[in-house]
Chain A
């Protein structure tokens, strides 16, 4: 038996191989002597993590997923696609496939790239990845993939900040942090909370489910410590989420989309009872008087009282008052979204306003003072930030952009597409939007206008899809089916390890191997770049040599090899590879990092990992303490542009302070009444006050899933189908659960375990009903990110999907008129029992 090391997007693993077959996947079994756990002292107790790595559940299904029936085994061609004859694009999603050789497949793909680029220009090729279907500096999407497409030139697809829209488009204008895309620095908040925090308000945040994004379950023990220490816990979420289940405490379930009203009422209590930090507001913020006038109703005649908010939110007045008073009385941490940032409430209509209010509420209580921060509870453990290792978000952590490459090809094409509206662009042409997706360079970047097609540029004719699917994650996703069947797309490629929801819409399918079948390197949990310090959600920083554990299965090849072979056919192989194999690249990343000062390549190669322990003399610098105390920034936040300048004590807003009246919004869009300079509560454009509510009285919320990562692992790891919180087996099919309250179920004659249809004008999705007290009446909870798009009539847009892609139902209207974000959680539906065999 041989044991290899590897790293997933949610934890490091040891991979046991016997006779060329993986037989066991275990959290990385490091030598006990390699762990030197940190200790935090608080209230006379010492807190120290166990000497181990705790992975996310789905990581333990890697063996199942590796050998899944869903692996793409061979290169395939759609049976009725002929590159030299009839292409039959309308058959995409309907027709079957035939096996072809790699040579045939690569010849067709390379030939089509040449033909399309020769005929229309490089911009007629576009390519799109999904997030994190693998890990590793060589294999990650903006590495091998980006190097290839930058080299040949293409219309790049800009990502929307889909998991934290409101923070990106809203909170940035309140507290800066645009270099973190609106989310706060995470540093040392665990120590701060253990020492000082008396209450935690989890607002639209389920860290036990979203786990600090990539950091597995390492932070679960932190929350146990806080619970056992007696910290009061409050949960604000229409769903009694898993963190609430684990922690206990008070559950408040506002009507979806009304969180901002609740926040306004809390501010109203503090203002009228003078229980806010008046000195902090005077010294560290601007525009408070304008905000106060709005809250008190002096500008619009509506005082944002608890009684007013009770009507909107459905939460009793006395409960709102009690929360506001307790919050002011206790040193309170606001756990708003997984990173302090994210959360379903920021993915609603006008979700910018909620995110801004989260910052402003804490500003009213002295944001940055001991125990008073914005911290999701899943990052911010002690971390030695002095040791540098590149991460995929750092230019140096990708073969596309890193100094490890001799040449870093720049994409010559300036035309862009925008992920949530790619189908609209293909189907309708002439679309426009504001902001370059992830706007990490300035506040103004959010106002850059884009249009497609860009003047002088062709429309996209060749679509290259790589890893994963959007059917379960974007909005109103039936339009992706219509896009694929459009004759405007002359050629479609799909390159993936598994059959995903969009795979069967391609003309040519290329089988990629998983990361267990190739070489790579990476640090656990660290995205770098705009999420610098993300691995502070891990109890131990660890860099892993991701070993090729077995040969690629069937005829699959590594993504890097596939792109190398395509480059060869385009006469660019040397440009692409510079003579490097994947392991050569991995070693180059190691060599530019700080690790060679601590361990030799040979020793690293032998052990397979290196733990960067926290030094004995580690000194905590809690996030924003410097700001609260008027000092210059002392946190290791390298992308903060004011740090180390004479404005080092300032935030990244125009004024350098927290802005109740946003100066950047006032400067760029003073008349925008949907994201006004002073945050407002606006009832959703699809919600309890709109006309659709008469026909579709239930409100669907679809937060990030618990047992898969985006669409990864679901469907491809059958073991997960036996976890009832993930899928429920009935009549030989693993159904996606939709949770609804007993009163809503009874009104529709629905019983627990019934197959039901969730429907509105955008589509129909079949789920299994879970009747539970854990959702607010009037709300249906069903996780986003089903990986199984399984329409009853394959290839027919709008046909009921029994796979559970509830994103089909969500609106594709932009979050507000100048905010190109998606609002999945502003979604009205109804639910009815599905009578099998009777049709919709």
Chain B
């Protein structure tokens, strides 16, 4: 049986907003009842892009995280709806029936992902349907996926073993957005940003020389990770655990060892670490 899935690779998302605009084109002023009522001219983000700026000048990273309705297996909107206004189809898509949901503003608050929007003029809560009206008429993917330039968005029928989303290497690293919500979404992610530690190493006695190929050790309990500085003297540890405590150590022959303890809350830029003799 058809089981739709969307896989979003954050490392491939360039923040072009093509998905967001294709959604506008498909839904603004376009009535696809019984699956969806027209999206208003502005304000709704059925495909939202979360822009996460990380780090500090000049060590900055950007992540663009596309967030459509997560089509949760444990959808809180279904539970919050009265009169069966929200239901889950056999293929997994969660649908807000625009007629039955009329006036049910509480549905907007029910979604922890903020993926349900209130249409003031029509007095109806609305969200992404994976363009179910198109899938039902034979389209292979929603509009947002079609216009993605980098295959950051991949859509498939999980029941189809040949499809991109169920390739073993994808599944291994796939994760859900906010697993702590416990909603079991159909939308899965790869490469969601995790706390990152960056810095630059420099020699105190010769600040004009790049400190290349210096080993930097990051210990957490018994586990040690090693980064080697690049040609600029920069090092980076990505995918660290928020809230965890780490020990950073730099040892270079002829220089005093440099050690510090740190607790990762969010991204951390240690700036320039100067090694003294």
Instruction: Identify the A interface with B (CB < 8 A).
Output: 23-27, 50, 52, 54-55, 57-58, 60-61, 63-64, 208, 216-218, 220-221, 224, 240, 242, 244-246, 248, 250-253, 306-307, 316-319, 321-323, 325-326, 707, 718-725, 729, 741, 772-777
Q: Is B127 an interface residue, CB under 8 A from the partner?
A: no
Contact B21 A251 (CB under 8 A): no
Contact A317 B208 (CB under 8 A): yes
Q: In the complex, how many angstroms separate the beta carbon of B156 from the nearest chain A beta carbon?
A: 14
Evaluate whether A774 and B60 lie within 8 angstroms (CB atoms) in the complex, with A60-B21, A318-B208 already known: yes
Evaluate whether A240 and B62 lie within 8 angstroms (CB atoms) in the complex, with A60-B24, A61-B24 already known: yes
Binds A, one of B65-73, B230-238, B239-247: B230-238
Q: Is B195 an interface residue, CB under 8 A from the partner?
A: no
- In the complex, the chain B residue whose C-beta lies closest to that of A246 is B14
Contact B17 A707 (CB under 8 A): yes
Evaluate whether A220 and B24 lie within 8 angstroms (CB atoms) in the complex, with A27-B146, A718-B41 already known: no
7 further interface pairs, Cβ-Cβ under 8 Å (given A26-B25, A719-B24, A774-B57): A26-B143, A27-B147, A60-B22, A64-B25, A217-B18, A318-B202, A319-B232
- In the complex, the chain B residue whose C-beta lies closest to that of A724 is B51
Contact A60 B25 (CB under 8 A): yes
Residues of A within 8 A of B17 (CB): 57, 707, 723, 725
CA distance A253 to B210 in the complex (A): 18
Tell me the number of A-to-B contacts counted with CB atoms below 8 Å: 144
B30, B42, B55, B233: the one contacting A23 at CB < 8 Å is B30
CA distance A319 to B210 in the complex (A): 7
Q: Is B151 an interface residue, CB under 8 A from the partner?
A: yes
Q: Is B15 an interface residue, CB under 8 A from the partner?
A: yes
Q: In the complex, how many angstroms separate the beta carbon of A67 from the nearest chain B beta carbon?
A: 9
Q: Which of B105-122 contact A (CB under 8 A)?
A: none
Q: Which of B66-124 contact A (CB under 8 A)?
A: none
A26, A245, A317, A777: the one contacting B146 at CB < 8 Å is A26
Instruction: Identify the B interface with A (CB < 8 A).
Output: 12-18, 20-22, 24-26, 28, 30, 41-43, 45, 51, 53, 55-62, 64, 143, 146-151, 202, 207-212, 230-234
Q: In the complex, how many angstroms separate the beta carbon of A87 from the nearest chain B beta carbon?
A: 39
Q: In the complex, how many angstroms separate the beta carbon of A685 from the nearest chain B beta carbon?
A: 27
- In the complex, the chain B residue whose C-beta lies closest to that of A251 is B58
- In the complex, the chain A residue whose C-beta lies closest to that of B211 is A318
CA distance A325 to B160 in the complex (A): 50
Evaluate whether A217 and B233 lie within 8 angstroms (CB atoms) in the complex, with A25-B25, A321-B210, A322-B210 already known: no
3 tightest A-B CB contacts, nearest first: A217-B149, A245-B62, A322-B210
CA distance A722 to B42 in the complex (A): 7
CA distance A50 to B12 in the complex (A): 15
A55, A218, A724, A776: the one contacting B18 at CB < 8 Å is A55
Interface centre among A55, A718, A719, by most chain B C-beta atoms within 10 angstroms, is A719
Contact A57 B208 (CB under 8 A): no
Contact B51 A24 (CB under 8 A): no
Contact A321 B208 (CB under 8 A): yes
Residues of A within 8 A of B24 (CB): 60-61, 64, 719
Contact B58 A776 (CB under 8 A): yes
Contact B57 A777 (CB under 8 A): yes
CA distance A773 to B18 in the complex (A): 25
Interface centre among A50, A61, A772, A773, by most chain B C-beta atoms within 10 angstroms, is A773
CA distance A208 to B14 in the complex (A): 8
- Ordered by A's residue number, 19 sampled pairs between the chains whose C-beta atoms are within 8 Å are A26-B146, A55-B147, A60-B25, A61-B25, A63-B25, A217-B149, A245-B15, A245-B61, A246-B62, A248-B61, A322-B212, A322-B231, A322-B233, A325-B231, A772-B53, A773-B53, A774-B53, A774-B62, A775-B57
Interface centre among B12, B24, B233, by most chain A C-beta atoms within 10 angstroms, is B24
Contact A723 B150 (CB under 8 A): no
CA distance A505 to B43 in the complex (A): 33
Residues of A within 8 A of B231 (CB): 322-323, 325-326
Residues of A within 8 A of B64 (CB): 245
- In the complex, the chain A residue whose C-beta lies closest to that of B20 is A723
Evaluate whether A242 and B14 lie within 8 angstroms (CB atoms) in the complex, with A60-B21, A318-B210, A321-B210 already known: yes
Contact B25 A218 (CB under 8 A): no
Evaluate whether A306 and B208 lie within 8 angstroms (CB atoms) in the complex, with A54-B149, A250-B232, A774-B60 already known: yes
Contact B51 A725 (CB under 8 A): yes
Q: In the complex, how many angstroms separate the beta carbon of B151 from the nearest chain A beta carbon?
A: 7
Q: In the complex, how many angstroms separate the beta carbon of B271 from the nearest chain A beta carbon?
A: 12
- In the complex, the chain A residue whose C-beta lies closest to that of B41 is A718
CA distance A29 to B88 in the complex (A): 30
Residues of A within 8 A of B56 (CB): 773
Q: In the complex, how many angstroms separate the beta carbon of B45 from the nearest chain A beta carbon?
A: 7
Residues of B within 8 A of A250 (CB): 230, 232, 234
CA distance A64 to B212 in the complex (A): 53
- In the complex, the chain A residue whose C-beta lies closest to that of B236 is A248
Q: In the complex, how many angstroms separate the beta carbon of B18 from the nearest chain A beta carbon?
A: 5
CA distance A799 to B43 in the complex (A): 31
Contact B15 A722 (CB under 8 A): no
Q: In the complex, how many angstroms separate the beta carbon of A241 from the nearest chain B beta carbon?
A: 10
CA distance A251 to B53 in the complex (A): 15
Residues of B within 8 A of A221 (CB): 149-151
Q: In the complex, how many angstroms separate the beta carbon of B135 from the nearest chain A beta carbon?
A: 15
CA distance A358 to B21 in the complex (A): 37
CA distance A248 to B208 in the complex (A): 25
Q: In the complex, how many angstroms separate the beta carbon of A260 from the nearest chain B beta carbon?
A: 20
Residues of B within 8 A of A216 (CB): 149
Residues of A within 8 A of B208 (CB): 306-307, 317-318, 321
Residues of B within 8 A of A248 (CB): 61
CA distance A648 to B61 in the complex (A): 46
CA distance A246 to B60 in the complex (A): 11
Evaluate whether A741 and B57 lie within 8 angstroms (CB atoms) in the complex, with A61-B21, A220-B149, A725-B51 already known: yes
Residues of A within 8 A of B58 (CB): 240, 251-253, 776
Residues of B within 8 A of A52 (CB): 146
Interface centre among B30, B59, B209, B231, by most chain A C-beta atoms within 10 angstroms, is B231
Contact A217 B16 (CB under 8 A): yes
CA distance A323 to B233 in the complex (A): 11
Residues of A within 8 A of B146 (CB): 26-27, 52
CA distance A248 to B202 in the complex (A): 22
Contact B150 A220 (CB under 8 A): yes
Residues of A within 8 A of B211 (CB): 318
Evaluate whether A318 and B233 lie within 8 angstroms (CB atoms) in the complex, with A306-B208, A777-B57 already known: yes
- In the complex, the chain B residue whose C-beta lies closest to that of A221 is B150
- In the complex, the chain A residue whose C-beta lies closest to that of B234 is A250
Residues of B within 8 A of A246 (CB): 13-15, 62
Residues of B within 8 A of A316 (CB): 207
Residues of A within 8 A of B12 (CB): 224
Q: In the complex, how many angstroms separate the beta carbon of B71 from the nearest chain A beta carbon?
A: 23
Contact B60 A220 (CB under 8 A): no
- In the complex, the chain B residue whose C-beta lies closest to that of A219 is B149
CA distance A242 to B49 in the complex (A): 15
Residues of B within 8 A of A23 (CB): 30
A253, A319, A722: the one contacting B43 at CB < 8 Å is A722
Residues of A within 8 A of B202 (CB): 318
Residues of A within 8 A of B232 (CB): 250, 318-319, 322-323
Residues of B within 8 A of A240 (CB): 58, 60, 62
A24, A55, A244, A773: the one contacting B26 at CB < 8 Å is A24
Evaluate whether A218 and B41 lie within 8 angstroms (CB atoms) in the complex, with A240-B60, A242-B15, A326-B231 already known: no
B55, B143, B149, B209: the one contacting A218 at CB < 8 Å is B149
Evaluate whether A318 and B20 lie within 8 angstroms (CB atoms) in the complex, with A248-B61, A722-B42 already known: no
B14, B21, B55, B147: the one contacting A773 at CB < 8 Å is B55
Evaluate whether A64 and B28 lie within 8 angstroms (CB atoms) in the complex, with A26-B143, A318-B233, A322-B210 already known: yes
CA distance A52 to B16 in the complex (A): 17
Residues of B within 8 A of A61 (CB): 21, 24-25
CA distance A216 to B148 in the complex (A): 11
Residues of B within 8 A of A326 (CB): 231
Interface centre among A246, A721, A772, A777, by most chain B C-beta atoms within 10 angstroms, is A246
